[in-house]
Amino acid sequence: MHELSMATSVADIILKKAQEEQATKIHEINIEIGELLFLNPEQFQFCLELVIEKTMAEGAIINITSKPSKLTCKKCGREFRWDRTPDDHYIFPVIECQCGSKDLEITEGRELNIKSIRIEKPDQ
Ligand SMILES: [Zn+2]
């Protein structure tokens, strides 16, 4: 499952980073997901909650925001956002420019950014 493997790698990064900071607990996780990753935010959150169980991040608040896509047509130079209609159920839709070209460059929308995590450190 796409969401589970992404959630697993996100959890690895977060936990490693928190360990480097000598954190004892992770309270909050803020993530931005590019809409062209085609991740289902609810499923992703569910998977992430699952993989952080029994770690210092268990029970953390998870905030997920979606990052709009940006594509450039290599043929006509048009810049546009991929408009997804709410009832689209395609996993990997074919994205086309208005001019009919499929030769597109994706400039934004494929990133998964861990924006911030809120941690607790032991008293020094
Ligand atoms: Zn075009």
Q: What is the pLDDT of residue 123?
A: 77
Report the pLDDT value the prediction gives residue 2, as an integer from 0 to 100.
86
The reported pLDDT for the residue numbered 87 is: 58
Q: How far is the CA of 105 from the centre of ligand 1 (A)?
A: 11
Architecture of domain 1-68+109-124: 2-Layer Sandwich (3.30)
Residue 124 is predicted with a pLDDT of 61
Give pLDDT, residue 96.
87
Q: How far is the CA of 81 from the centre of ligand 1 (A)?
A: 12
Q: What is the CB-side half-sphere exposure of residue 19 using CA atoms within 13 A?
A: 7
C-alpha 112 to ligand 1 mean position (Å): 27
pLDDT average per 10 residues of sequence, the chain (124 residues): 90 97 97 90 95 97 95 96 66 81 93 96 79
Residue 90's pLDDT is what?
Answer: 56
Q: How far is the CA of 71 from the centre of ligand 1 (A)?
A: 10
Domain extents for the chain?
1-68+109-124, 70-108
